[in-house]
Amino acid sequence: MTEVREYSAAVDVAIVGSGPTGAAYARILSERAPEATVAMFEVGPTISDPPGAHVKNIADPDARARAQAASEGPGERGAKVANPGAAKAGVRAARPGTFLLDDGFAFPGEDGLPVAAMSSNVGGMSAHWTGACPRPGGSERIAFLPDLDELLDEGDRLLGVTTDAFDAAPFGAIVRERLAAVVDEGRPPAARVQRMPLAAHRREDGRLVWSGSDVVLGDVTRANPNFELHDESLVTSVLLEGGRVAGLAVRDLRTGETHEVRARYVVVAADALRTPQLLWASGIRPAALGRYLNDQAQVVFAARLRDVEPLGADAPTTGLAEHSGVSWVPFTDDMPFHGQVMQLDASPIPLAEDDPVVPGSIVGLGLFCAKDLQADDRVVFDDEHVDGYGMPAPRIHYRLTDHDHALIERARAEIVRLGEAVGDLLDSRPFTLPLGSSLHYQGSTRMGVVDDGTSVCDPDSRVWGVDGLYVAGNGVIPTATACNPTVTSVALAVRGARRIARDLTR
């Protein structure tokens, strides 16, 4: 017999989604308004202890695989792809821990986002991400936020961002030195080649620990008696009364029963597809809802480090980035790409029987491109199509502009130049991954200064025209970015959470 869970009848703040931005709201409220009652609802299951932890921290590979499979949403568990090689072969498949849209990902005459993917689990995509937390630069920055740098500092604090997790990587300095020789000239110090800021740290025993929502929540939230987390709980509607939020309708996926939870404030912190989905399903449909959707086209390449000595038997050999570290080529307006360079998971790769590769000397290079923003790039919903949860299914309309195509070609030339600087090229040409591969979808609930139909929320992430309703996640970012968006999204969540905390403690 399924145990009946108790949902609070009323709370001060209800949070939809348990990824890093939803967790940031819970953390800031626990720190600044500890008397406030906060309930978080997640459609997926709890897959780790503590809840929200990164699956890479699960030592047992079988247990890790079970956690990934449990994150892959409703319906059948399909084939998974872990590397660009499978994408080259034309395989349309999600990475472990994620699932794709069944349909509606592209329409005739459009490019679409054929591998747009999501996760359903406590912690959201932060249980599966790479942990990269670069800061935006140049036109990536949100110019109308004067406190952006302080907010980014808070984002770093909540995510546990470090730059020294791979300082012991034997080839890291070599990679950065060679990249810097062809990149750094004329750049200010902040935009030069450097270690990638990562949501990761080393334990005293040397083990690498990756941050997930567990780190963002922190001990203060877990110890907060006024905070509750409900997994396998589908929020089907935001309830409104007189132009203000009144609470949520929540379906317990274990029992199928629907409950009403009253709330003074509601934060919808799902992903860039499911946040607009819930607002649309609730009849909350600002003109910009779902529009300005943007992904980061991604070009990848590989090179073998030249002139490196074989490592000793005691060198780290535990997988991704342990030899070459993770290096960052920051975005600039003159070179509008974000570069991420790290060891390939597959190394060592023998190129020929008589040419063994030094372990760890195969590095993967990736350049992410900023999208040309268009209102017509959008996710829409209707009453005819539903997803595996019975919610309005996302239908994506998305086109690359001439500017986008030119930028991708420029990135392809640039990544060859970077590869040649690092070592010997392993392929005749770079590969452009299928659209949606970045998992960095943004803009669908974008922030703006005025309610002029081009934004969904104000600088505090409050949805225009609906008192007490906030949105969070990558969808809130209003600029075209090439860098990984998580720390920026968490920074914006901090601003919104502080606003709610001020209102609650007046």
The residues annotated with a catalytic role in the active site are 440
Using alpha carbons, select from 264, 414, 253, 261 the residue that is nearest to residue 339.
414
- Say if CB 15 and CB 38 are below 8 A apart: yes
Closest residue by Cα to residue 117 from 95, 97, 100, 104: 100
C-alpha Rg value of the chain to the nearest Å:
22
Amino acid 398 reads Y
Helix (H) or strand (E) segment spanning residue 277: helix 274-281
Peptide bond into 348 cis (omega under 30): yes
Q: Are 457 and 476 contacting, i.e. CB atoms less than 8 angstroms apart?
A: yes
H/E segment holding residue 488:
helix 486-504
For 239, other C-beta atoms within 10 Å of its C-beta total 17
| DSSP-based three-state secondary structure for 278 | helix
Tokens 């921290």, residue located = 57
Kindly report the number of other CB atoms within 10 A of residue 314's CB atom: 6
Backbone angles phi, psi at 150, to 5 degrees: -65, -40
DSSP 8-state code for residue 374:
-
Question: 3-state DSSP helix/strand/coil percent for the chain, to nearest 5?
Answer: 25, 25, 55
CA angle in degrees (0–180, nearest 5) for 90-276-100: 20
What distance, in Å, lies between the first and last C-alpha atoms of the chain?
45
* Pick from 416, 374, 413, 417: nearest CA to 397: 374
Distances (CA, A) of 394 to 101, 117, 225, 377, 390: 8, 12, 37, 13, 12
Q: CA triplet 340, 199, 126: central angle to 5 degrees?
A: 95
What span, in angstroms and rounded, lies between the C-alpha atoms of 451 and 288? 10
Residue 449 DSSP label = S
Instruction: Determine the Cα–Cα distance for residues 189 and 97; give it in Å rounded to an integer.
Output: 37
Cα–Cα distance measured from residue 126 to residue 7, given in angstroms and rounded to the nearest whole number? 25
Residues 84, 88, 93, CA angle at the centre, nearest 5°?
70
For residue 408, report the phi and psi dihedrals to the nearest 5 degrees.
-65, -40
